[in-house]
Amino acid sequence: MIEPPLPIPLTDQHLKMIGELCAILGQIDLFMQESAMFLLNVNPKVAAAIMGSTDVRARSDVWTRIVESKCQDEAVTQTAARAVKRLGKLSEQRNDFVHAYFATLVQTVSGERDARSNLFSRRASWDACCHQNQK
């Protein structure tokens, strides 16, 4: 195990949520890559190259274009558009969570309180989202 230079301010529940989020995002990536492979009729290596960006928005954009160009069914393209919109929000919430906790700790240690207050608001929005999803 790696010893962190500073204490990690996460509860077991937070760590569980990070693990679940990583697993879900990995499943989404796999689905987009496999559906691109199917729709384009290419092998897995070619699909991986086409979907190769690590940026969620870039991958989503490529995937949406593939779906729109290959699927004639409007219901499918509309579902894909809704999925990409939800994925963007999920990715944004993931970034808020991961960076808010890390940056909050750094800001506390460095004493820069202005940026810290903004980061707490990002953290609060994540906490509100988590509690809403648990209902």
Helical H segments across 41-73, by residue range:
44-50, 56-70
**Residue 135 has what pLDDT?**
46
Q: What percent of the chain has pLDDT over 90?
A: 39
Among the residue ranges 17-21, 27-31, 73-77, the one predicted with the least confidence is: 17-21
Spatial separation of the C-alpha atoms in residues 64 and 58, rounded to whole Å? 10
- Of the candidates 63, 59, 82, 61, which has an alpha carbon nearest to the alpha carbon of residue 71? 63
- What's the N-to-C CA distance of the chain in angstroms? 34
Q: Work out the mean pLDDT of the chain and round it to a whole number.
A: 78
Chain-centroid distance of CA 117 in Å reads: 24
Q: What percent of the chain has pLDDT over 70?
A: 70
Check whether 43 has a pLDDT greater than 60: yes
Structure tokens at 47: 């699909």
Helix 56-70, helix 12-40: angle, nearest 10:
30
What mean pLDDT comes out for the span 113-122?
Answer: 46
- Of the candidates 78, 100, 80, which has an alpha carbon nearest to the alpha carbon of residue 32? 80
